[in-house]
Chain A
């Protein structure tokens, strides 16, 4: 295997952050405590 470990770690980190942003969106947009843009609060 000639795959560079650093490349694997970096791509894993980047892709993980991408999904983390999508995951975190719900808490941000539906938060009852948010003082900025807010969709209807979650139930």
Chain B
């Protein structure tokens, strides 16, 4: 039950900052919507992690190295965590894109011209900001869409939150250790609080190659 507990506690610790920051960024996501979004990301994360289970089982049977198993599992957690966060990021981006279209309808009007003869609106690509900057001899910013200005705070907040989530998750894993169980030690539910995840991981890496 420690693996679900790890994700649950990490979510409990990191959910309030995300919710408050997204509220400050004028997100229209309500409390439950934000929670649901995070839970979807975590579920994707855990599903991918569970799919690595047979690989972990294979190495359990085929290697005797405890440091190797630790590094392997950290790698699996990092890979699945990254996939979950990418999934979450796409969902957040989609939500904010839709909201930006609702919140900034004027922007859509800028790219359209009203035809005085027919009264119909026709889209003129020359009026797009990127095209205008090219005409002025300015290089268009790579990877920036027309809507990058209003949506960037939300995405920036999510990127900062991702770092917080990763660091909290790593330390939470350190607090809840052991997950694998050291073969030379007696069984224990939790170990003493000492050092931190990153120092221990570097030490494990050194042990692996000695």
Contact = CB atoms under 8 A, between A and B. Distances in A.
Interface of A: 1, 3, 5, 8-9, 11-13, 15-33, 39-43
A22 to B, nearest CB: 4
A8 B84 CA distance: 14
Nearest to A18: B50
Nearest to A29: B60
Contacts of B101: none
Contacts of B186: 33
Given A1-B36, A26-B69, A19 B180 contact: no
Contacts of B37: 1
Main secondary structure of the interface of A (DSSP, over half): helix
B65 A19 contact: no
Contacts of A28: 181
Interface string B1-14: 11111111000000
A13 B187 CA distance: 23
Interface string B180-197: 111110110000000000
Q: Which 10 A-B pairs have the closest CB atoms?
A: A27-B181, A16-B4, A42-B183, A22-B53, A20-B3, A16-B3, A8-B39, A15-B50, A30-B183, A15-B46
Contacts of A1: 33, 36-37, 40
Interface in B1-32: 1-8, 32
Given A12-B46, A16-B7, A17-B4, A27 B64 contact: no
Interface in B35-85: 35-37, 39-40, 42-43, 46-47, 49-50, 52-54, 56-57, 60-61, 64-66, 69, 73
17 contacts: A5-B36, A5-B39, A8-B40, A12-B39, A12-B43, A16-B1, A16-B46, A16-B49, A18-B50, A25-B60, A26-B66, A26-B183, A30-B183, A31-B181, A31-B187, A32-B183, A33-B187
